[in-house]
Structure 1
Amino acid sequence: MTDRNRLTNAAGAPVADNQNSKTAGPRGPVLMEDYHLLERMAHFNRERIPERVVHAKGAGAYGTFRVTADITDYSRASVFSTVGKETPVFVRFSTVAGEKGSADSVRDPRGFAVKFYTDEGNWDLVGNNTPVFFIRDPLKFQDFIHSQKRHPRTGMRDNTMQWDFWSLSPESLHQVVWLLGDRGLPASFRNMNGYGSHTFSFWNERGERFWVKFHIKTRQGIRCLTEAQGATIAGETPDYHTQDLFAAIEDGDYPKWTVYVQIMPEADAESYHVNPFDLTKVWPHADYPLIEVGELELNRNPDNYFAEVEQAAFEPSNLVPGIGASPDRMLQARLMSYADAHRYRLGVNYAHIPVNRPRVEAHTYHRDGYMRTDGNYGAAPNYEPNSFGGPQEDPSVAEPPLRISGDAGRYDHREGNDDYTQAGELYRLMSADEKDRLVSNIVGHIGVVPVEIQRRQLPHFHRADPELARRIAEGLGLDVDAVVA
């Protein structure tokens, strides 16, 4: 390998593995010593000024979460403590790849972020309208997003970049089928589901841990746009989804969602047939059925878009006692990356912005920094421990220990992983009309890329479902048997 082709870090040192984060064992959490990962995340968060790198275009509203079922056997979180309890929320919807001025009605995953202003601090559930994602290792996130953004030479979105990355990253296939299917283009924010996507953890008063996935199901019904409808709306009303949400709430037609969880006992993770911490996988409902938790309603529009929607800062690291993280590699990286992005974009004191401020008083030792507009804790001590009545830790809210094992190393996240079965199952769940639209969308999207990339991608579709591959090949004018062989 020549020096010109050798990947290095910013200091010029060669990189041995750019595919896998360093973890404690094959399923263990990401290690902070993985400086290559931290460098990539920190640099990526600073690539755009001043809009968000991803999820730049969005709309938001205030509302209420109300508990409708008792799940205290699983979580001690105060937000779930009593049936009927209400917690104020702020929700932001967004597109992922588009810039701030882009059209709403384009094919793209949608962000679905909920900030719960609980009586034990803010809890942020930062998800999407799909239960899975394109990648499972955070080291590839920057590369993935770059492939979905704009070509460095032309400044335009480029299908070849997208399919080149997807065809070289088979773990993306499950999400690709979601994206190119009907739900990749929702009719409105009100007519789509939300998902926490990651695996999180619950623990109860007895210190028992459970793994959990969140599902937020629309009560307005799932409605989607066709490719042609989306293109027409983009030309006529670029802010269509933003306008729809605002108008509905102004008219008193408050959108609602039912919140569910899937619960997995901690011990099940050791033997379950898929890695329960893999963001490219779902847990079949037959194994872990949906359990109703509560109702989410949006009923008040912001008074100022910039102050409340643009400056809203969501972060998966905003967790409260009874709700925790998991060894999900992508989630582990997001715990650091989102807060880091906010400090860069909004300043180190972004949590003092009203939309981000908890409804309970915060007691920290954070001091100074740009835009410190409160009393900066006055003469109170700025160190801990101290002898002057400063805030102290509360051991009663400690999370139970997480059992992990394994040697630190960069483990190949693709080795022994089935990236095709669930994508094929998703296709086979679709109606005949949905399958037709999926095939048409895929053929139209991949049809403009070089044939060698089409031929590289086709076997991935074939491994998921031979019929899907055959229909795509026919649309592209390729011989599926020759390609697969």
Structure 2
Amino acid sequence: MGATRLLATAVAAAAAAAVAASSVATPAGAHGGVAHPPLAPMTSDVGTPVGDDRNTLSVGPSGALLVQDTRAAEKLARFDRERTPERVVHARGTGAHGTFVSYGDLSALTSAGFLGGADRETEVFVRFSTVIHGKGSPESLRDPRGFAVKFKIAEKYGGGIWDLVGNNLDVFFIRDQVSFPDMVHSLKPDPVTNIQDPNRFFDFFGALGGAATNMLTTLYSDLGIPATLREMNGHSVHAYKFVNKARKVTYVKFQWTSMQGVRNMTAAEAAKVQSMDFNHATRDLYGSIEAGRFPSWELRYQTLSAEQMASADLGFNALDATKFWPEDLAPFVAIGKMTLNRVPDNFFQSTEQAAFNPGAFLPGAIEPSEDKLLQGRLMAYADTQRYRLGANHAMLPVNRPVSPVRNHGQDGAANSGNTKGTFNYGISLTHDAFPPSDAARFSTSRVCTVIAQAGIEVTADFHQAGTRWASYSARDQANTVANLAGDLGQVRSDLVRNTMCAHFFKAHPAFGRRVAKAVRCDMRVVRRIAARLSDGMPMRHAGDGPCKADMAAKKAAKAAKKAEKKAMKYE
């Protein structure tokens, strides 16, 4: 009911604003409106004044059109090319400008200048999005919400751009980037019918063996449909690295905590909202900003040392994107606050052309971790932006840093730079080249392992999902079961349904039994499948074994050589 009242208020406000705007914009003498100064004449794309924009040049009023009316041709050709390729995921999105202000000095953990003291202000652009459906789809669907923040760092704080590209949920479906295309294909509409089909995506999730259980337990709760964009949190999902001036590395995860609180919708509430307004989230965000009710989020972080990351006490791999870091293990600490205070002037030029990329980070200050899913995103996001927007997308105003760009990149389509001089190769005996920044050198780490195509050794796919389920209220548990039943109940395959029920049963027996009852699973089969599932194994990092083995082998060889010399001495 709260969501319905919110929508009604938003729609009424929008209607009132439209009426007010129309009364102001009407010229004097037409419907009694208020007069405004006349506008300057229309021009072509190259600035030439246009004499007539309603009639094409022709041979007589009814004759053939003339090719020399290049303005008419320009107008149509420009229209034909208005659409750029849609994002392959996160197509439906909404953006806003704002600022981030730091709370204090974080230099003990990171050399990032914008976090090196209190009250340091950084310009940001934020894009919220849904993941699977197209950019005209409803904003009330059950779907993770993208939560991407572009920090434009002032030169006095080191310059550059840091893109923190996360979701509203704290975990993900998969842990290795190579499965991402398969996951998206399963969730996208069927290539034959163009209809999203639970038979497809539950088949995929079941075949994963349990990796998606934590995410599905979250997504099918009411957290899967935020009431508004203002009333949801954001998460980095992945671990990153803080690097300080001493080159010490600390692993870190981030969370955006909504200062408006968190509010979600039930499936019934979402259906009602969608029937009245499938743009409700954008309308709410922009209406709040334009009314001066600027939404804000507090940025918090969790840290683990390299030693903690390798500890057997964790019981899970801390680089696994399907896992969260428990707060009792890694408490949250507030780092600053972000406030959104301006609606973009043009949706396409800002929100559509915004290019977010986890590969835009701050070497020597904030770096990516070894997370297998994150490592894939470092390449994939940059690649998709070049495909969508071209090689020079970083020159677009929404993506352009506020600090100077100094390198020897050259040419390419839509290059709007102002490059001067003949020296464009960077390494020279006769020219002054841009010097590197020692502070921006990557951190170093010792690696002693084998190169192999292998999954992480500790999957622990069910424990956190069970803990999450147990933390839900009775109402939330009932809604989660009902939401799952709505989709899983459509699955025709007994194998897929029983496998998914077994995953939930392995997470928490009561959870599995309730879902099984709702979707007609055979509990005897469910128990047999669940009995074969493992919830992890003793913690041993891949890098530890070979390193220790190498050291032991070297020690043994050294001792043998010493013994051999000693024996030869007494011969």
- TM-score tier (shorter): 0.7 to 0.9
Do the aligned partners of 1:261 and 1:292 also contact (CA within 8 Å) in 2? yes
CA shift digits 1:325-371 (9 cap, x unpaired): 11000111111110111011000000000000000010111111111
Partner SS for 1:355:
coil
CA shift digits 1:38-62 (9 cap, x unpaired): xxxxxxxxxx961000000100101
What does residue 387 of structure 2 align with? Answer: 344
Partner SS for 1:171:
coil
Do the aligned partners of 1:469 and 1:480 also contact (CA within 8 Å) in 2? no
What does residue 373 of structure 1 align with? Answer: 416
Do the aligned partners of 2:317 and 2:458 also contact (CA within 8 Å) in 1? no
**Aligned counterpart for 1:256 among listed residues 291, 296, 299:** 296
Of the structure 1 ranges 73-82 and 377-386, higher mean CA displacement relative to structure 2 is found in: 377-386
Of the structure 1 ranges 347-356 and 233-242, higher mean CA displacement relative to structure 2 is found in: 233-242
Shift of 1:477: 2.9
AA at the equivalent of 2:103: T
Of the structure 1 ranges 91-100 and 48-57, higher mean CA displacement relative to structure 2 is found in: 48-57
**Aligned counterpart for 2:406 among listed residues 359, 363, 371:** 363
Shift of 1:72: 1.8
What does residue 322 of structure 2 align with? Answer: 280
Quick one: distance in 1 between partners of 2:249 and 2:525? Answer: 50
Quick one: distance in 2 between partners of 1:142 and 1:161? Answer: 14
Do the aligned partners of 1:458 and 1:484 also contact (CA within 8 Å) in 2? no
Quick one: distance in 2 between partners of 1:284 and 1:147? Answer: 30
Pairs within 5 Å for 1:27-38: none
Q: Which has the larger radius of gyration?
A: 2
What does residue 195 of structure 1 align with? Answer: 235
Q: Structure 1 393/380 Cα, relative in aligned 2: closer, same or farther at 3 Å? A: farther
| Relative contact order, higher structure (CA 8 A, sep 6+) | 1
Of the structure 1 ranges 83-92 and 447-456, higher mean CA displacement relative to structure 2 is found in: 447-456
Shift of 1:226: 0.9
CA shift digits 1:149-189 (9 cap, x unpaired): 01011111111111111111110111011110111000011
1:140 matched to 2:171? The reply is: no
Quick one: distance in 2 between partners of 1:443 and 1:457? Answer: 11
AA at the equivalent of 2:388: R
Quick one: distance in 2 between partners of 1:427 and 1:84? Answer: 39
1:469 matched to 2:512? The reply is: yes
What does residue 27 of structure 1 align with? Answer: none
**Aligned counterpart for 1:230 among listed residues 244, 264, 270:** 270
Shift of 1:113: 0.2
AA at the equivalent of 1:429: S
- C-alpha RMSD of matched pairs (Å): 1.3
Do the aligned partners of 1:56 and 1:96 also contact (CA within 8 Å) in 2? yes
**Aligned counterpart for 1:398 among listed residues 423, 441, 449:** 441
Partner SS for 1:92:
strand
Quick one: distance in 2 between partners of 1:482 and 1:340? Answer: 44
What does residue 70 of structure 1 align with? Answer: 105
What does residue 479 of structure 2 align with? Answer: 437
1:311 matched to 2:353? The reply is: yes
Aligned residues: 436
Q: Which ranges in structure 2 are unaligned for 5 or more consecutive residues?
A: 1-82, 529-571
Quick one: distance in 2 between partners of 1:298 and 1:472? Answer: 40
Quick one: distance in 2 between partners of 1:346 and 1:118? Answer: 23
Quick one: distance in 2 between partners of 1:356 and 1:181? Answer: 35
Shift of 1:122: 0.6
What does residue 502 of structure 2 align with? Answer: 459
What does residue 211 of structure 1 align with? Answer: 251
CA shift digits 1:103-125 (9 cap, x unpaired): 10000000000000012211100
AA at the equivalent of 2:407: T
Partner SS for 2:100:
strand
Quick one: distance in 2 between partners of 1:366 and 1:337? Answer: 21
Quick one: distance in 2 between partners of 1:446 and 1:400? Answer: 46
Do the aligned partners of 2:202 and 2:496 also contact (CA within 8 Å) in 1? yes
Do the aligned partners of 1:420 and 1:463 also contact (CA within 8 Å) in 2? yes
Quick one: distance in 1 between partners of 2:410 and 2:502? Answer: 56
Pairs within 5 Å for 1:158-197: 158-169=197-208, 170-197=210-237
AA at the equivalent of 2:112: A
What does residue 332 of structure 1 align with? Answer: 375
What does residue 64 of structure 2 align with? Answer: none
**Aligned counterpart for 1:153 among listed residues 183, 189, 192:** 192
**Aligned counterpart for 1:447 among listed residues 476, 483, 489:** 489
AA at the equivalent of 1:346: L
1:124 matched to 2:163? The reply is: yes
Shift of 1:404: 2.3
What does residue 128 of structure 2 align with? Answer: 93
What does residue 40 of structure 1 align with? Answer: none
Partner SS for 1:191:
coil
Quick one: distance in 1 between partners of 2:201 and 2:216? Answer: 10
Shift of 1:416: 4.1
Quick one: distance in 2 between partners of 1:238 and 1:356? Answer: 28
AA at the equivalent of 1:323: I
CA shift digits 1:255-274 (9 cap, x unpaired): 01111000111222111432
What does residue 19 of structure 1 align with? Answer: none
| TM superposition score normalised by structure 1 | 0.88
Partner SS for 1:408:
coil
Do the aligned partners of 1:173 and 1:460 also contact (CA within 8 Å) in 2? yes
Do the aligned partners of 2:497 and 2:521 also contact (CA within 8 Å) in 1? no
Do the aligned partners of 1:58 and 1:309 also contact (CA within 8 Å) in 2? yes
